[in-house]
Amino acid sequence: MTAASRRVITDPDGTVLSYVPRTRDGRPWADRARATGPGPARIVFDRLAGWAVSCQEDLAGPLIAHGAVVARRGNRMACDLREVPPPPHWRGQRPPAAFRIVPCDRPARDLLEAWRAAYPADHPDHFPADDQTAVRERLGPLIAGRLYGPLLPFSALVANPRNRIVAAALVNDFAGEAPRPGPWITELFRQPAPLHAGLGTLLLRRILADAAHAGHTAISLAVTEGNPAQHLYAGHGFRLIEKIVTLFIP
């Protein structure tokens, strides 16, 4: 998504709102929204009623005060691969013998069982819509490269002896705006059973080492506040670059 794809709307009072149009949970979504001028809440409520809006705290505050509902508070994080170079041997790490690394060339529905198990109803990243919607609006577009750019080759899946996917790491080439264009980890999950412990860490380490080997200088992700995976990322060199609030506009 390039800067040129931002949509801009104006209000007679001089307020200007810009955002990247996307779809979230079956509704239109104004991602990376920014507003200047005297009436940021008014222009959002007038023009984007029924939408989801993702923005920084300076815009989120007025929207919440006018009745917007917070859906997610997230942290965008980045790892500088020059300052925190991953050990080269991480590229060759393999899962236990019962599992194998396979390319991310499966249909989205093959990832659905593990993805649902990783994000149950009490998880901050639970997807509330039905499975068909999840495949159509989340997993499918990520794999096809329609949401955040093409899937990079160091994306990977872990299959069990029955060839069922039990863990996945999706990395997309997000050629967008600051703060961090470039490789983004858009999904990293595993089946929560003890048998699968460590697979998420293994995939993360492979991603970091493969990205550095491919010449990338940084890699980014977004993690919901309350997701325990944030500690995993921080322990592997990811640092906070901005806080983002996603809201639903009545």
Phi-psi region for residue 50, left (φ > 0), alpha (ψ -120 to 50) or beta?
Answer: left
Looking at residue 3, what is its pLDDT? 41
Confidence of residue 179 (pLDDT cuts 50, 70, 90): low
Mean pLDDT throughout 50-56? 97
Domain with CATH 3.40.630.30 in the chain: 77-241
Is 68 within 8 Å of 216 (Cβ atoms)?
no
Confidence of residue 22 (pLDDT cuts 50, 70, 90): confident
Topology of the domain comprising 77-241:
Aminopeptidase (3.40.630)
pLDDT tens-digit readout, 117-164: 999 999 999 999 999 999 998 999 999 998 889 999 999 999 999 999
Looking at residue 225, what is its pLDDT? 92
Mean pLDDT throughout 231-246? 96
At residue 211, φ and ψ (nearest 5 deg) are -65, -45
The rounded distance, in Å, linking the Cα atoms of 43 and 7 is: 14
Phi-psi region for residue 245, left (φ > 0), alpha (ψ -120 to 50) or beta?
Answer: beta
Q: State the average pLDDT for the chain.
A: 93
Distance linking the first and last C-alpha atoms of the chain: 27
Looking at residue 4, what is its pLDDT? 43
Closest CA to 177 of 149, 141, 151, 137: 149
The rounded distance, in Å, linking the Cα atoms of 26 and 129 is: 8
Sign of the CA dihedral 175, 180, 184, 189? negative
Token digits for 177?
Answer: 């705006």
Residue 179 or 166, more confident: 166
Residue whose structure tokens are 């500088």: 80
The rounded distance, in Å, linking the Cα atoms of 124 and 25 is: 14
Mean pLDDT throughout 34-58? 95
Confidence of residue 2 (pLDDT cuts 50, 70, 90): very low
Mean pLDDT throughout 60-73? 96
Mean pLDDT throughout 73-87? 95
Looking at residue 24, what is its pLDDT? 82
pLDDT tens-digit readout, 190-237: 999 999 999 999 999 999 999 999 999 999 999 999 899 999 999 999
What is the DSSP code (8-state) at residue 87? Answer: P
